Amino acid sequence: MSLGKPLKKLASCVILDLDGTLLNTDALVSEILKGFLVKYGKQWDGREVHKIAGTTPFQAAAAVVEDYELPCTPSQFLSEINPFFSDKWSNIKALPGANRLIKHFSCHGVPLALASNSTRSSIESKISSHQGWKESFSVIIGGDEVASGKPSPEIFLEAAKRLNVDPSSCLVIEDSIPGVTAGKAAGMEVVAVPSIPKQSHLYTLADGVINSLLDLQPENWGLPPFQDWIEGTLPIEPWYIGGPVIKGYGRGSKVLGIPTANLSTEGYSALLSEHPSGVYFGWAGLSTRGVFKMVMSIGWNPYFDNTEKTIEPWLLHDFAEDFYGEELHLVVIGYIRPEANFPSLEGLIAKIHEDRRVAETALDLPPYSAYREDPYLKISVKKDRHL
């Protein structure tokens, strides 16, 4: 990313965007717009969410009114839809890594600012349900508190001013193109965390592009490094997923010699979209066979450029035969790395085998080994799909 660019500048403060960076706002926006457009006899096209990412509320409304040819002005649309949103602002989930990041910087005394195009009052509602967030920000600025929102640099320049620092010593973390543009125009270092899959090539202005907050390396900007990695693995809040084993793309054992037990993602689309793509590990319970170590990938497999986000667990055990249709329960407890592309198939295979070794070793360590006994892994033979 930094090829040919000057060395990264050192930062002393961090300015964070809110929607799509710290909060999973997209899911809520889609849900509400979808229901709302029915009133106008229109059908929500999920792609819109990408178009409105990072814009001001007014710009977002204007885009929707125009694209769906709604018989109202953007302001009318905003005031009609606002009540639906304001009920829900305090229920938006934090994105993976958001709590960890805020805690880390505030514990290390790194001044934090929150700069969002949404209004000051909706920012307040959105962060109110997240413990410790409000107190962690020395500065909070909404789009209604400056003359022009992102992509104008104004909101970030104002944040630097209130932090009492030079813009060049600020690191901005942003998910959207308007946000990255604003940060660069303000003369700041910018890390992009694109919330739209397969779009990282569009973020050429950014000083760094990462796949999720889990991948942030603050030391690259002279900030204190995270200290929670254990032997190449990052413990995460455990999550649970299960279902029948299905046939995948058929490449697992044939091409790679890596027999993954692909999971049907039916009914799990929300869960799957909540979790960043990447390589994870944990424990796998297979009805009638027992509990096994597991390393897996979630995502689009850049090497194969799949069109669907899949989940591909590799059970680290030699099984004598296939077990398609059998009920598989997973508890996912650690993160290893983002998905990557490789110049050769051999490169991909070597990396996956390295992942296997990392996971196998880590799963014997206390923070991970205890989950082997998780009741979710002991599956009743009745094939109960519910938690």
Applying CB under 6 A, which residues contact ligand RBF? 248-249, 251-252, 256, 258, 260, 279, 295-297, 301-304, 312, 314, 339-340, 348, 352, 355
* Nearest CA-CA partner of 211 in 278, 301, 273, 270: 278
Judged by CB under 5 A, the number of residues near Mg ion is 6
In this structure, how many other beta carbons lie within 10 angstroms of the beta carbon of residue 350?
Answer: 12
Ranked by CB distance to Mg ion, the top (closest) residue is 20
Active-site residue, 312 included: yes
Could you write out the DSSP letters of every residue in 107-166? HTT--EEEEESS-HHHHHHHHHTSTTHHHH-SEEEEGGGSSS-TTSTHHHHHHHHHHTS-
- Is residue 386 within 8 Å of residue 243, measured between CB atoms? no
CB of 19 to ligand RBF, least distance (A): 28
Residue-level length of the chain:
387
Output 78 or 359, the one with its CB closest to ligand RBF: 359
Q: Is 207 in the site for Mg ion (CB under 5 A)?
A: no
Residues in 122-181 that interact with Mg ion by CB under 5 A: 175-176
- Is residue 15 within 8 Å of residue 115, measured between CB atoms? yes
One character per residue 31-60, x = contact with Mg ion (rule: CB under 5 A) = -----------------------x------
CB of 301 to ligand RBF, least distance (A): 4
- State the Cα–Cα distance between residues 344 and 170, nearest whole angstrom: 38
Output 54 or 218, the one with its CB closest to Mg ion: 54
Residue 175 binds what, of Mg ion, ligand RBF, none (CB under 5 to 8 Å, by partner type)?
Mg ion
Q: Is 19 in the site for Mg ion (CB under 5 A)?
A: yes
H or E element, residue 315 = strand 310-315
SS3 201: helix
* Nearest CA-CA partner of 171 in 242, 223, 108: 223
Active-site residue, 327 included: no
Q: Which residue among 26, 48, 175, 312 is the active-site one? A: 312
CB of 267 to ligand RBF, least distance (A): 21
Site residues for Mg ion per CB under 5 A? 17, 19-20, 54, 175-176
Positions marked catalytic? 17, 19, 312
